[in-house]
Amino acid sequence: MKHLLLTVGKPKQTYLAQGIDDYLARLKPYGGGSLVGVRPAKLGPKTPDESAKAEEGQRLLARLDQRDLVWALEIKGKAWSSLQWAKALEKARLSGRSRLVLVIGGALGLDPAVARRADQLVSFGPPTLAHELAALVAAEQLYRACTILAGLPYHRA
């Protein structure tokens, strides 16, 4: 199964971009991983937040195929332990779909239309994370789930 991190924008901080790239490279033996960023909405004093989120949401939705399995990172989602990530990934692999897409909204959050398209809503818990940091955590958890399923010692419960 291929893995895609679909985000609003790309990481601006070098250390975050390097961390994401590192974990995506580690996914090569497990189907590979890539990062695609859509253009963020231009935010200004007269731009309503909801309209900016809707614009970003349309860009995200345009990158999805109807056959994709989509997990949206959303504060209202369910917080998974690493073992739950692994179980969900195992189920995803058995779904017959060829691509798992983890969608991460921008600075304003995720458009409701994207959340409705998602097969799962996943949260990293109550704290709000910067979307670039959320992408790094998502890449690491995806890699960790793969190593759990492969029985490798990366993860210690």
pLDDT digits (tens, 9 = 90+) for 113-135: 999 999 999 999 988 889 899 99
Tell me the binding residues. 73, 105
Cα 49 to its chain centre, rounded Å, is 21
Domains of the chain: 2-150 (3.40.1280.10)
List the one residue out of 2, 23, 9 whose CA is nearest residue 105. 9
Tell me the binding residues for S-adenosyl-L-methionine. 73, 105
Give the pLDDT of residue 47.
Answer: 86
Phi, psi of 14 (to 5 degrees): -60, -45
pLDDT digits (tens, 9 = 90+) for 136-150: 999 999 999 999 999
- Under 8 Å between Cβ of 121 and 77: yes
According to DSSP, residue 48 is labeled -
